[in-house]
Structure 1
């Protein structure tokens, strides 16, 4: 078997997640610095980011159909990103709705992470650090989401929190691409 062809294909597939992670990190940094300047532009760009992320996720899932349960997770993640892109582009009229919908989205994401972790536990395919990171992400995500729903933070602080969440999400995607495993998602088969 020609190893150079195999590595090139793997590298190309991993570049999809690197691109997705880079987009999420770039948006997170923009949210940290531009929340006071033009929040509506950040909302629209967040919708575009989610549409691009959905395309990249579907492409990665298509290229990695052998991943079984992780493949199903990737398909679900792509559908959620597609729905989020449409909602944030066309149905979010102002910052208050963005913060509310983002809080619901964070709760949805951490709930899915918990379900995925429970599935890995039932399949006896987990690592202790995976479960610890999953627990931490569920706890932190829930605290952030509840704070956003309860309007504990002002609009600028909310954008900063969402920006930090986006940066972490981007780093996790890049880590998944580079190491072919992710402390949140579990190992690639």
Structure 2
């Protein structure tokens, strides 16, 4: 059983196999997939199950800490926040997505803050960084809100669905 983090409105816990259907539904939404680097669209059947198994193993190895965002008031799974750890460099990449019905309510900021604190205190990380597509200001607003500083001396591009997207980078040091 992995760590369980708590914020005022959320419980952050390890994903369970029973979360697969909700993950497929939320992550499979075109609005969510469009601005997320790692989410396929359309989201194939069985992919969520495979992804949950993969991240549970990664959690146990200390490589990726992916937490399910669970809303306390109704115990509904609303998104994901994760730290992908590079042990040799003592740093991690922060990533998150929130289901479309739950956008704009500050959940990503709340979860990201909690997970960064976990990264610095429990994992003794030196640096946490994050990237977002330029066309996704909601994502880098979260980065700014949790105190990350822009590191954009090198605009980088990534290929997503056959289109090159500009990325912005932010970081936080312990």
| TM-score normalised over the length of structure 1 | 0.28
More strand by share: 2
Which structure would you say has the larger Rg?
Answer: 1
